[in-house]
């Protein structure tokens, strides 16, 4: 009996240690995943209020949506968390949940957005790789911060987190793109466009007796809400 208790205690300590090692890469990340059932991004994209971490940027919110699919299986041509994703299918699905429609293939996705240097990457950016299973641009993932990205890797691995600075991904790096994330909920304190109406005197003529109005859009802080 004493032997059984010692064995059980030792096994429990070993299990805790293994779990700590497996979770360590995610503990340092600012962005944590929501479970798919609790992911309210589709509702928010349609204008329905839903809880969200107000301290996250738009890109970090998008990355959190992607992290909800970690562990989903890989399937060529797939776009389902149940039957599986391929790399571009995962990207297309995550962005679509926020109302951002992307092309289906990785090569076409590479033509969207604006180029970003690796040193300027932010959560939510797309990262691309070349010459993986075929020549040319062939793989895509979503950057989540701290040199990590989430992607649908291969059969047997599924949707997983990898490092950009690993030897394989350094060798096959192709570039990055940043998309317009304005459809995501605004971040508190960010600047937003405010319309300003400017009245201009029209040239005197029999046809125009009133001044013409010109509408301009300028950038103002959250406090600026009046129309002048």
Residues tagged active-site: 87, 139, 151
Q: Give CA–CA dist 73/56, Å, rounded.
A: 28
d(C-alpha 90, C-alpha 86), whole Å: 6
> Cβ(37)–Cβ(46) under 8 Å?
no
Cα 76 from Cα 73, distance rounded (Å): 10
H or E segment at 60?
A: helix 58-67
Write the CB contacts of 66 (distance below 8 Å, at least 6 apart in sequence).
90, 94, 142, 144, 150
What is the rounded distance in angstroms from the CA atom of residue 59 to the CA atom of residue 94? 12
Question: Between β-strands 126-130 and 173-178, what pairing exists: parallel, antiparallel or unpaired?
Answer: antiparallel
């Amino acid at each position: 009996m004493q032997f059984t208790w010692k064995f059980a205690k030792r096994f429990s300590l070993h299990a805790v240690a293994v779990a700590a090692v497996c979770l360590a890469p995610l503990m340092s990340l600012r962005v944590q995943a929501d479970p798919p059932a609790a992911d309210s991004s589709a509702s928010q994209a349609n204008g329905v209020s839903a809880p969200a971490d107000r301290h996250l940027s738009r890109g970090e919110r998008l990355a959190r949506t992607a992290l909800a699919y970690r562990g989903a299986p890989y399937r060529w041509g797939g776009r389902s968390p149940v039957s599986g994703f391929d790399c571009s299918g995962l990207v297309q699905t995550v962005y679509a949940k926020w109302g951002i429609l992307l092309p289906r293939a990785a090569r076409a996705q590479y033509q969207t957005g604006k180029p970003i240097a690796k040193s300027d990457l932010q959560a939510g950016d797309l990262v691309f790789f070349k010459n993986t299973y075929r020549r040319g641009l062939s793989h895509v993932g979503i950057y989540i911060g701290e040199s990590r990205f989430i992607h649908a890797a291969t059969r047997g691995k599924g949707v997983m987190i990898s490092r950009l600075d690993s030897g394989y991904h350094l060798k096959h790096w192709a570039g990055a793109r940043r998309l317009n994330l304005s459809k995501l909920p605004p971040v508190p304190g960010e600047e937003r466009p405010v319309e300003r109406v400017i009245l201009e005197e029209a040239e005197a003529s029999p046809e125009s007796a009133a001044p013409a109005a010109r509408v301009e859009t300028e950038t103002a802080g959250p406090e600026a809400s009046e129309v002048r």
